[in-house]
Amino acid sequence: MANEVTLTAQNFETEVLKSELPVLVDFWAEWCMPCRMLAPTLEEFSKIYNGKLKIAKLNVDDEPDVASQYGIVSIPTLILFHKGQPVAQHIGLAPRQTLENLLKPYVS
């Protein structure tokens, strides 16, 4: 994938909180069917917004502490970080247009 990052507790600060680009973090798990259904849309976004947006995936089973820190209780949850701060969030599967509307104010 063009600019997708796999997040861990070790690289979260560098890849998300200190990123120059807005970062869309996908909190997901391997067993989550809606998460898998969302993946092609995120892959498409990584190509469309290459250089303008970073797509990052955090497996909640592998990194429960980070997920807990952001109050993740349902997946998929998408949180958009801009300048190190969470600025928008969407829980559950959503149509592409809904997600693009979430990104528009932060991605030129």
pLDDT surpasses 70 at 105: yes
Q: Is residue 11 part of a domain?
A: yes
**Could you read off the pLDDT of 33-57 as tens digits, one per residue?**
999 999 999 999 999 999 999 999 9
Q: Is residue 54 part of a domain?
A: yes
Strands 23-28 and 77-82: antiparallel
CATH value at residue 39: 3.40.30.10
pLDDT tier at 4, thresholds 50, 70, 90: confident
pLDDT at 1: 44
Domain count, the chain: 1
Whether 57 is a known active-site residue: answer no
Q: Is residue 59 part of a domain?
A: yes
Q: Is residue 68 part of a domain?
A: yes
Q: What are the backbone angles phi and psi of residue 27, rounded to the nearest 5°? A: -90, 115
**Could you read off the pLDDT of 67-104 as tens digits, one per residue?**
999 999 999 999 999 999 999 999 999 999 999 999 99
Catalytic residue among 23, 24, 35, 79: 35
Catalytic residue among 5, 32, 56, 79: 32
Q: Is residue 108 part of a domain?
A: no
Contacts of residue 23, defined as CB under 8 A and 6 or more positions apart, other chains included, come to 15, 16, 53, 54, 55, 56, 80, 81
Give the domain range for residue 36. 4-103
Whether 11 is a known active-site residue: answer no
